[in-house]
Structure 1
Amino acid sequence: MIDLSEIHSFLWCETPDAWIEQALQYQDLMLIDHANCEKKAAGTAMNLMYRYVDDFELLNKMSRLAREELRHFEQVIAIMESRGIAYPQIQASRYAAELRKPIRTHEPGRLIDTLIVGAIIEARSCERFNKLAPFLDEELKKFYFSLLKSEARHYQDYLGLAKKAAAGEAIDERVDIFLTLDKKLVESGDSEFRFHSGPVSGE
């Protein structure tokens, strides 16, 4: 089992038990949105590769990350297909969009903040997979536990690249801004269940 103590100490809260209960109730919807999250994660990495072509470390790490996220996407849709779960278009949760609102528009602030957000999303995904997996059937439990190592590395890659982009300047204040938002979004009620939503209000 992978040690997630670094991720647990990085994030400011755990996924609420109410979200876990709802994930078990809406497993089809959870898988559909999980597939969407993997596609978006690959797209984010590709966008960074197109935007910041002068950083070979970033290019290499984002290329590997994009390949891994697309592989995870393929694994999710294979599970969906085997279970007869359709893949409709659904609206994204507010989580990622809200988390990105404080991203600065000038460089290098834009890059630093984008990488910090990437680190938090990967850390939250990792924490959520780990907390949810023990309650799932054997196939999903094995699959979600198998994702932990790569998700934890993605978190470390994003955070390391953010520190590098800051060129010696501390990024703690920026990290705190986004972690505050993550905590708020994870703990507050949402209108619809999604992989990165808070608990659905009224359930």
Structure 2
Amino acid sequence: MVTRARNKKDPEQSQSVAARWTDILAERGFTPIANVFMEKYSSLEITPTEAMLICHLMSFKWTEDAPYPSVPRLAKLMRCSDRYVRKMCQNLESVGLIKRIGREGTSNAFDLSGLFTKLEAIVIAEKLEAARKSQKKDQAAAKKRKTMEVETLSAPMDVQWALQTPQVEVTRQLGATHTQLPQLVVQPLRRTVRHPLQSMETGVEE
């Protein structure tokens, strides 16, 4: 039977490990894994099994200090041989994600700062790319607005008046003769136009 912690009135309780998994599973603890690692590990030149090894290393990292599980312990958790774990560690070291630090008379420590540095570089690169795209979009919009302003200022006075004046007023003053105006005048009457020399939008008033 699956038992879950449920308390809708308590936000902390609803976001607990027990609420996300189950009460019984939460008793065994949890391992915090950054989402960016889950999303980007495939771009780090490692296999899914090597990514799982990193998750196991993180399960022994309780502070900022390097974790130090033994190879036999890791092999038992992953249901593989000690030799295979050592081979994966060598691969992770070769791509600069971990560094094994010898400790006299006991297991090695695993420095994961290389992994963190590469993941941070990915995040920073994505932020810079998003900023570049946003800037490019803003520049294109500004260029379009400037072009519209220049076209409006260079238009004949009767066209500028038509662009600034509500459609009802234009129709009342022009009457049937409005058909004699160039198409450039008639078409803009169907939308609201902001004149470059005024800050107030024109609207239709009956």
Give the TM-score normalised by structure 1: 0.23
Give 1 or 2: higher helix fraction: 1
The higher relative CO (CA closer than 8 Å, separation ≥ 6) is in 1
Computing the radius of gyration over CA atoms, which structure comes out larger, 1 or 2?
2
TM-score by length of structure 2 reads 0.23
